[in-house]
Amino acid sequence: MDELKILNRVLPGLKYGSEVVLPPGDDCAAIRQTPGMLLLAAVDQLAENVHYLHSGTTAGEAGAKLLKRNLSDIAAMGGIPRHCLIALAADKNRSDQWICDFLSGAAGAAEKYNVSLVGGDLCALTAAAGGDGVGLVASLTILGEVEAERLCRRDRLEAGDGIYVTGCFGNSYRSRHHLDFEPRLREGRFISGRYSRCMMDVSDGLALDLRRMLISSGLCARVDERAIPLREGADPAAAWSDGEDYELLFSVPAAAEEEFLSAWPGAGGGFAPVSRIGTAVAPETDENGNRKAGMIYDLSGKEIKLEHWGYEHK
Amino acid sequence: MDELKILNRVLPGLKYGSEVVLPPGDDCAAIRQTPGMLLLAAVDQLAENVHYLHSGTTAGEAGAKLLKRNLSDIAAMGGIPRHCLIALAADKNRSDQWICDFLSGAAGAAEKYNVSLVGGDLCALTAAAGGDGVGLVASLTILGEVEAERLCRRDRLEAGDGIYVTGCFGNSYRSRHHLDFEPRLREGRFISGRYSRCMMDVSDGLALDLRRMLISSGLCARVDERAIPLREGADPAAAWSDGEDYELLFSVPAAAEEEFLSAWPGAGGGFAPVSRIGTAVAPETDENGNRKAGMIYDLSGKEIKLEHWGYEHK
């Protein structure tokens, strides 16, 4: 399944009510709810042996991950999560106990992050011929809210902005970070409060997600690779492309950077560390007069080339 | 998978914010949004060869059905659908074309019913061992709204109320009604306007869903079986238990019945027919002093016994 190709065929035909401030394409959709307040909504799936390995992952860990990866999407909009709904489909070999543990894992995480689980659906997988299906997949729809003036979008980067990340990158699978991460909700609220209008979450790899932000915003970036914080066991290539980091990538306008860095609560305030990894720059014009957004340069101005860019949704 | 058993284990432990007016258990959850207005939310899945047969169903029909069965849940609350999000998981044998056609079918139905598709996710199914999975399942979260004073719940039946249904029942699969039905949105709005506070949709079989309404409300029903409208090719047993009717089951207080029936717009107003099938009655007290809700009696007062009650979610 080529997700990008499918979306490129289906998305352009969609029509939205005028209350849809932000249609699909960002971490969440944003819908005008009351004057000054937006409803945030996103759906994400967790497929066994794609997003976690059945072997070595408890059902409760998998359920909690399903919720937390959706919380990361709310954090990236600068918002507050409120409600969720879960759908789960499994083949007949999955025990009711496993499914209960999965749902309890999600419900426990929901309680921890003050999210109400308000709906759900369970069903059995079958095969095309009508026989038994094989596999397990769950989807979660997260609902949240954010003040309209705090909404952070991925297409709001401006040339000259500092580019920042929370936490560290790479080696998420072996370190089990992909299961035990903390969604950056507090950090997202702090950032959206006064310092940024441009943010997204990094789940498919820093290189790929940074490039998405750059292309959305029509810009390029100059990045100090040595400034990218590495998770234990990760080298720079892994930090660029492993994915499943669930950290925030955001911009701070140059004029606000000093104040931002001195105000960041840090570990003492229960916050993840924050790192300035680069600067947004205008795209260069090529020999044909085209401006190519999405390029990532090192400090010397040389294009950074990577063997892997991240998880490409194919 | 025994859905009821799983829900009975998981649901009691859930905690809800005080803004959750109606938690899981009805057709939708209802969440206080603004003074006087409730957000409605529900999630439902469509599994291939459970909810439609791959053979003989186009991808577009299946996608439209996924949306419409969720619209039926909004109709049953007396509400208006607004937004939806779709997640789809498929094995690797499913073509991108089929998936595009499925999503376009859902999107086309969304446009028809003024619903904005604001989010989605696609992923691949795998097997427990990490190999290829087999099957296809999609989930849709529907968001809508309803004025607080128009909210219709399944637990609001009162003794003496007339029990009504829209449309007709039975033989939904062979007649293809389960694919080409019209969600009863206009009818639901009309009913919730002034005539009823108790409504649900009939999707698992009239007998089973009526019993759910009766048990939720602590009542029984006396039903005139000859008054149950039959779909072409259906006999009374099929009408009671086939399921997939997507009609509305609702009550009208005795004092309002005459006005309701004369006000019903009917076919001339583009409405489904409406039928009075029975009356809500208080449960009898057995020899141990217990009152047993959920019984369905015929006009002579004899318990109606059915071989099949409907689709039991096992």
Give the tens place of pLDDT for each residue, B150-182.
999 999 999 999 999 999 999 999 999 999 999
- The pLDDT of residue B314 is 43
**What distance in Å separates the CA atoms of residue B75 and residue B187, rounded to the nearest whole number?**
8
Q: Is the pLDDT of residue A40 over 70?
A: yes
Mean pLDDT value of segment B14-37: 95
Nearest C-alpha neighbor of B175 from the set B249, B238, B108 = B238
Q: Which of A48-52, A163-167, B116-120, B250-254 comes out lowest in average pLDDT? A: A48-52
- The pLDDT of residue B112 is 97
The string of pLDDT tens digits covering residues B109-148 is 999 999 999 999 999 998 877 778 889 999 999 999 999 9
Which ipTM did the prediction report? 0.95
Which positions in chain B touch A39 (Cβ < 8 Å)? 39, 143
Q: Are A177 and A245 in contact (CB under 8 A)?
A: yes
Return the percentage of chain A with pLDDT > 70, whole number. Answer: 99
The string of pLDDT tens digits covering residues B249-295 is 999 999 999 999 999 999 999 999 999 999 999 998 888 888 899 99
Q: Is the pLDDT of residue A118 over 70?
A: yes
Binary contact (A90, B1; C-beta < 8 A): yes
Give the dihedral sign, CA A121/A125/A130/A131. Answer: negative
- The pLDDT of residue B313 is 52
Q: Are B221 and B210 in contact (CB under 8 A)?
A: yes
Nearest C-alpha neighbor of A123 from the set B138, B35, B272, B252 = B138
Q: Are B81 and B71 in contact (CB under 8 A)?
A: yes
Average pLDDT, chain A: 94
Mean pLDDT value of segment B75-82: 98
Give the dihedral sign, CA B228/B295/B297/B218. Answer: negative
Q: Pick the residue of B5, B14, B48 with the most A CBs within 10 A to test the interface with A by mutation.
A: B14
Q: Are A277 and A205 in contact (CB under 8 A)?
A: no
**How far apart are the CA of A217 and the nearest CA of chain B, in angstroms?**
21
Give bridge partners of residue A142 from the DSSP assignment. Answer: A42, A84
Give bridge partners of residue A122 from the DSSP assignment. Answer: A88
- The pLDDT of residue B51 is 86
Tokens standing for residue A99: 């499914």
Return the percentage of chain B with pLDDT > 90, whole number. Answer: 84
Which positions in chain A touch B33 (Cβ < 8 Å)? 33-34
The string of pLDDT tens digits covering residues B53-68 is 888 899 999 999 999 9
Q: Which of A7, A47, A100 sits opposite B10 (nearest CB)?
A: A100
- The pLDDT of residue B1 is 84
Binary contact (A92, B34; C-beta < 8 A): no
Average pLDDT, chain B: 94
User: Which pTM value belongs to this model?
Assistant: 0.95
The string of pLDDT tens digits covering residues A201-232 is 999 999 999 999 999 999 999 999 999 999 99
Give the dihedral sign, CA B50/B103/B88/B126. Answer: positive
Binary contact (A141, B119; C-beta < 8 A): yes
